[in-house]
Structure 1
C-alpha cells in the first residue's frame, strides 16, 4: 500500500501469512493435538476402571453348574448348588406328571403348565431353584422322607407354603411358583444350569 507521503508502507497486512501452504493454521494443529492427547488420556483412565468391573474368574466359574443326572431314578431328587443357592432336580414319576397335568391352571395363583416348566423331550425332569418365593427359605420335599406338603411337591416349613409336583404354589403365603432357572440339556443325562 502506498501512503499519502509517497513512502511505501512496509507493515505487513495482518491477514497475510496466518494460513500455511495447505490451508491449516497453526492454532488448528494445536487444537487437534490437544484434543487427541485428552482423548488418549481419557482412555488411559477409563480402561482400568471398566476392566475392574468385569467378573473375576471365581465368579465366572460359579456362573454355570453342570449336573450328571444319569443315576437319577424315577421318583428321586438331587440337590445341587447354583450361584450359592440350592437347586432341586427331580425325575417325576408318571403319577406325579399325571397329577400335575390334571390341575386346571386357571385355578392357580401363578398359572403355568408342567410343559411350560420343563424342556421338550425331558418333561419328566423338573429343575427349580430351592428357594421359597415368599421369604427365601429352603422348602422340604427334595429328599426321601421329607414333608412334601398337601400336594405332594414341596413344603416350606417357615411359613407353610405348599407346592405341587410341578413346584407350583397351591397354598400358603408364597406369591409365585418355585423359579425355574435357565438351563439346557447338553445330552440326555447332562444338564447345564446358567
Structure 2
C-alpha cells in the first residue's frame, strides 16, 4: 500500500499544523471583510430617513371646521394632503360609477373608512408626474367629474379621487390614517 505524500510542516501521525500561507490567507480575507463593511455601511445608513422626515411621520388633522362639500390642503411628509368631506350627492355620484369603467378600479368604500364614507383623505400628488391637482381650494377647477383636475397634463379625478381621464395611471393615493376622535384623524398611523 502506498503512503500518502507528506505535506510541508506535517509530521507522520500528527494533526496538520497551520502554515504561514494559511495565516496570510485568513488575514487577507478578514481585512477584505472589514474593508467591505467600511464601504457598504455608509451606503446603507444614507438610505435611512432623516430626522426631519421621522418627525413628520404622522400628522394630526382637525376635521371639525371642514364643511360638507369642502376640502382642505394639509402637509404630510412634506407632500400635499387633501382632506375632503363629501356631500351625500358626491357620495351617490361616486357610487354610481361602474367599477369596470375605471382605469384603477376601486370603490369609494375601499378608499374610505367603514362608517366614515363622507371623509376622503388622499395625497395631493398627481400619479402621472407628481404635480399638485386643483380642486381642494375654494373656487379651484375640479374638472368635469367634480373631484380634482391636474393642470400640468390634464388628468381628471372624480369625487372619490379616482382617475377618470388623462395620462395619470392610478388614483390619488390614500395614506394610512386612523380616526383618533370623531373630529380628529392621525395620518401616518396604522390601525
TM-score if structure 1 supplies the norm length? 0.72
Aligned to 1:96: 90
Aligned to 2:186: 191
How many angstroms does 1:132 deviate by? 3.1
- 2:14 is the counterpart of 1:19: no
Cα RMSD for the two superposed structures: 3.1
Aligned to 2:140: 146
TM-score if structure 2 supplies the norm length? 0.73
Matches within 5 A, 1:158-177: 158-171=152-165, 173-177=166-170
How many angstroms does 1:50 deviate by? 3.3
Aligned to 1:9: none
1:55/1:139 Cα in 2 relative to 1: closer, same or farther (>3 Å)? closer
CA distance in 2, matches of 1:112, 1:30: 63
Aligned length: 179
- 2:116 is the counterpart of 1:122: yes
| Structure 2, unaligned runs of 5 or more | none
* Counterpart among 62, 68, 83 of residue 61 in structure 2: 68
CA distance in 2, matches of 1:106, 1:156: 23
The structure with the largest alpha-carbon Rg is 1
1:186/1:52 Cα in 2 relative to 1: closer, same or farther (>3 Å)? same
